Amino acid sequence: MTVDTAVESPSLPHPGRTPASMIERMTLILDTFDGPAPMRTLVEVAERTGLPRSSVHRIIDQMIRLRWLAHAPGGYRLGTRALELGGLAIEHNEIRDVMGPLLHELCRRTGMVAHLGVLDGPEVLVIDKAVGRGADFLPTRLGGRLPAHCTAVGKALLATLSPGVVELAFPARLPRRTPQTIGSRAALHRELDLVRGHRGVAIDRAESLADVVCVAVPIRAGGHGGIAALSLSGRVGGENRPAASELARILVEAADEAVCAVNTALRRR
């Protein structure tokens, strides 16, 4: 998984501009459920977002079906999916503490760069990185982000979500970073089906940077889907590098070990 530090997070719409994408509209609607009021009416959501009431009603119906929102007496409230993900944000630091030694062990065994990443909307956020002696230089950093559809970590985590969530989170056409980048939502769905059929193992085939390949697997712990993902990255044609199948085996074993460690840490909270 690679991250271009020059990539910025997508900003919310400027005042006076109608947001074009579904993810922008969903974000605006979720942002109305801030402050002490746990419930909002349809009229309140429309007024606070500036979106047409008919559009708000249609989007809310979809968000209720996907558990981002739920019905409340006289209006709507945050759904269980939003509350679950909010709880996961608190867990990120604990996950990083638990996973640090495992990342360094992966570097030692493979001579590659190891990353620990989480999904933040349609992006991947790097929460830890380890570089072994002699490993390739990669332009990645803690806190770096990249669109999830073109990284192994992103695809490993997206494959743990329902297709309906992916459908809402991504536009029909996806931005390309290299000639190998997945360019459409339909192709992304097909790729995620393949990932699900291979124990969650995802591969970045020079899709993020033209000369970098990566293998990743999700970590399923704490009663959630994929709370984070482990990856190993290196330059194309690197010497003495394990084959992709061997990297997948190493990562699956590491993820199984990580589940036990993370679940133990979460139970101590």
46-83 tens-digit pLDDT: 999 999 999 999 999 999 988 888 887 788 988 767 65
> Which has the minimum average pLDDT: 17-21, 59-63, 120-124, 214-218?
17-21
Which domain covers residue 259, as residue numbers? 84-267
Give a yes or no: residue 237 inside a domain: yes
Report yes or no on 159 lying in a domain: yes
Contact 182, 205 (CB under 8 A): no
* Average confidence (pLDDT) over 224-248: 82
Cβ-Cβ contacts under 8 Å for 88 (sequence gap 6 or more): 118, 222, 224, 227
In-domain check, residue 155 = yes
pLDDT of residue 5: 36
Residue 53 lies in a domain: no
Number of domains in the chain: 1
The CB-side HSE value for 25 (13 A sphere, CA atoms) comes to: 22
Does any domain span residue 28? no
Mean pLDDT value of segment 210-232: 84
Q: What is the CATH number of the domain that holds 139?
A: 3.30.450.40
Task: Please indicate, yes or no, if residue 60 is contained in any of the structural domains.
Answer: no
Rg (CA), the chain: 19
Predicted confidence band at 199 (pLDDT cuts at 50, 70, 90)? Answer: confident
Q: In this model, does residue 197 exceed pLDDT 80?
A: yes
**Does 235 map to a domain?**
yes
In this structure, the dihedral spanned by the alpha carbons of residues 257, 214, 115 and 21, taken in order and rounded to 10 degrees, is -110
Evaluate whether residue 33 is within a structural domain.
Answer: no
